[in-house]
Structure 1
Amino acid sequence: MQRFGTLSFGHYGPLGGGRELTAGDSMKQAIDLAQGMDDLGVNGVYFRVHHFARQQASPMPLLAAIAATTTHIEMGTGVIDMRYENPLYFAEEAAALDLISDQRIALGISRGSPETVLRGFEAFGYSGATDPRGADIARAHTELFLRAIDGEGIAERDPESPFGGGSGLQRIEPHSPGLRSRIWWGSGSRETAEWAGRQGLNLMSSTLVTEADGRPFDILQAEQIDLFRAAWKDAGHAGAPRVSVSRSVFPITTAEDELYFGHSQEGDGIGYIDGFRSTFGKTYAAAPDVLVEQLQQDAAVMSADTLMLTIPSQLGVEFNLRVVESFATHVAPALGWKPNPTT
């Protein structure tokens, strides 16, 4: 494990006792948390993206604010739902963010996850899907997005234009060279993992896989990682891709930690998502030395280069910074991690 960061679900709303976390509170706390983690040398801060829900729906302004107020930390998403995106406008936004941040982004994209609405992407103007889940729209949008960020000509120049004219095809602007190497595909299946490898994208794997054959979650996920890397190599892409996995990991060092997480799920879970029988990863909650032993036995964590810790954003900046600092101090170094420079 070379890097670690946090993955926030970004929930806001009532907290109980008459308290409420507003959308504005959630975003401002995310910025404060990113700044604190940048000071600790943590490598990344990543955000889930969900439409029609009290979570982050349009992450680019938030990521730009983090880019402008931090120095070293990587910022990204896990994942942007490509069914909802105008691929060319998104390509312009991604390039602008990449340039503002000095290439410190890790944008996870994918078809997205189940929603609170039916075919919400159609409300955004993207209709005509033959797949009821819109996977064909997501793939088509992704293909055009990748062509655009690679600098391919997209629109015919106007030879009569007073602003330059000329002939041939014009690429989108701004253009950020090498941006594709900072784009990730969120995968939960063997097929999508192999597809990401063939496309030359990095792999972002979550806390579930759409398989359930009785084997442990980490083994299933590690096999998907192996298939991804083999597909990358077979496609002839240069270099080595990055791979991230997400885990719920809580070092228990105080009575408050024990109260919140001491009775967390101890084993993998089995359930259904999007009609697929799936395996869900367990929560790791234990004393730091026990966590080290457990995570060293997690095949996917040890295969990936980046670990994303899912954090309870509703508990606030101070609490989450303490959890992250505890992991950085007592657990991560034993897994191979070295902090970012902080000056």
Structure 2
Amino acid sequence: MQRFGTLSFGHYGPLGGGRELTAGDSLHQAIDLAQGMDELGANGIFFRVHHFARQQASPMPLLAAIAAKTQRIEMGTGVIDMRYENPLYLAEEAAAVDLISDGRLALGVSRGSPETVVRGYEKFGYTAADPRGADLAREHFDQFWRAIGGEGIAERDPNSPFGGGPAGSGGGLQRIEPQSPGLRDRIWWGAGSRDTAEWAGRMGLNLMSSTLVTEADGRPFDILQAEQIDRFRTAWAEAGHPGTPRVSVSRSVFPITTAEDELYFGHSQEGDGIGYIDGFRSTFGKTYAASPDVLVEQLQQDAAVMNADTLMLTIPSQLGVAFNLHIVEEFATHVAPALGWKPNAQGPVEGYSLNETGSAL
């Protein structure tokens, strides 16, 4: 494990006892958490994206604010539902945030998980032939992928008094602006199955795998997920892509070092779960909650964690910044080093080039 960060579901709303976490509270706390994690040397902070729900729905303003207030930490999504997106506008926004952050955007995209409404993307102006919208998500992603790669998109108006922008690759059409070199290397696909992981590998994307797989054949969750990762890397290599792709997995991991930790997590789920999501019989990963030394032993036995380069800790964002920084600090101090991690204290993520000022490109 080379890197670790957090994945926040970003829930807000009533907390009980007359208390309420507002949307504004959630956003400000996310920024504060990112600053604290940056100081601790954690590598990334990621946010789930859901529409029509009390969660983060439009992550780009949040990611831009985090970029402006941090120095080293990656920021990103896990994942943006491409069914809802205007792909060219998303390409412009992503490039702008990547430039503001000096190349620290790590954007996770996919078809997305089930929403709280029926075919909500239609209310955003999009239609799909597939009831699950998989065709729409892939169509939008294809446009987004070409746009951030600098391909020409629109014919220049020769009568425009404003002149023409730079021509894109593959002809005289104009590309979208801005462009952020290297952004395509930091796009991840959230895959729930082995087939989707193989597709992501063939495309040359990074792989983001969650706390579930949409498969259940009796094998443990970590074994199923490790096989998914292996198939992804094989597909990447067979497609002839240069370099090494990144792979992240998500886990609920809670070091228990205080009475408060025990109160919250001492009776967490200890085994994998089987259930249905989006019509698929699926395997859900267990929650790891134990003393740090026990967590080290358990995570070292997790085949997928040890097969990935990045671990995302799913955090209880409603419990506030201080408590979540406590979780991150305990993990960074007592667990992560035993898994191979070193603090992100020497600059941008490994593998990014540096410009003359030392900022990541």
**TM bucket, shorter chain:** over 0.9
Structure 1 partner of 2:352: none
Report the secondary structure of 1:155's partner residue: coil
> Equivalent of 1:221, from 215, 220, 225?
225
1:40·1:342 contact (CA, 8 Å) conserved in 2? no
Q: CA deviation at 1:78?
A: 0.2
* Counterpart amino acid of residue 68 in structure 1: A
Partner of 2:196: 192
Partner Cα separation in structure 2 for residue 154 and residue 230 of structure 1:
32
**Are the aligned partners of 1:10 and 1:313 in contact in 2 as well (CA < 8 Å)?**
yes
* DSSP 3-state at the match of 1:156: coil
| Letter matched to residue 32 of structure 2 | D
Give, in whole Å, the separation in 1 of the partners of 2:73 and 2:229. 25
How far apart are the structure 2 equivalents of 1:247 and 1:224? 16
Letter in 2 for 1:204: M
Q: Which amino acid aligns with 2:245?
A: P
5+ residue gaps, structure 2, are: 348-361
Q: Distance in 1 between matches of 2:27 and 2:228?
A: 33
Letter in 1 for 2:261: D
- Asked if 1:170 corresponds to 2:197, the answer is no
How far, CA to CA, are the matches of 1:193 and 1:281 in structure 2? 18
The equivalences for 1:1-343 within 5 A come to 1-127=1-127, 129-165=128-164, 168-341=172-345
SS at match of 2:102: coil
1:162 positional shift = 1.3
SS of residue in 2 equivalent to 1:103: coil
Question: For 2:327, what is the secondary structure of its paired residue?
Answer: helix
Residue pair 1:41, 1:342 contacting (<8 A) in 2 also: no
SS at match of 2:320: helix
Q: Which runs of 4+ in 1 moved over 4 A?
A: none
Give me the whole-angstrom Cα distance separating, in 2, the residues matched to 1:342 and 1:14.
Answer: 40
Give the counterpart letter for 2:292 in structure 1.
Answer: P
TM-score, with length taken from structure 2: 0.94
Distance 1:236 1:141 in 2: 24
The CA deviation at 1:342 is 6.7
Shift of 1:335: 0.1
Offset, 1:165 = 4.0
The code of the aligned residue for 1:96 comes to: A
* Matches of 1:327 and 1:233, distance apart in 2: 33
Change (3 A) 1:174 1:248: same
**% identity of equivalent residues:** 86
Q: Report Cα offsets for 1:92-139 as digits up to 9, x if no partner.
A: 000001100000011000001011100000000001x11101010000
Aligned length: 342
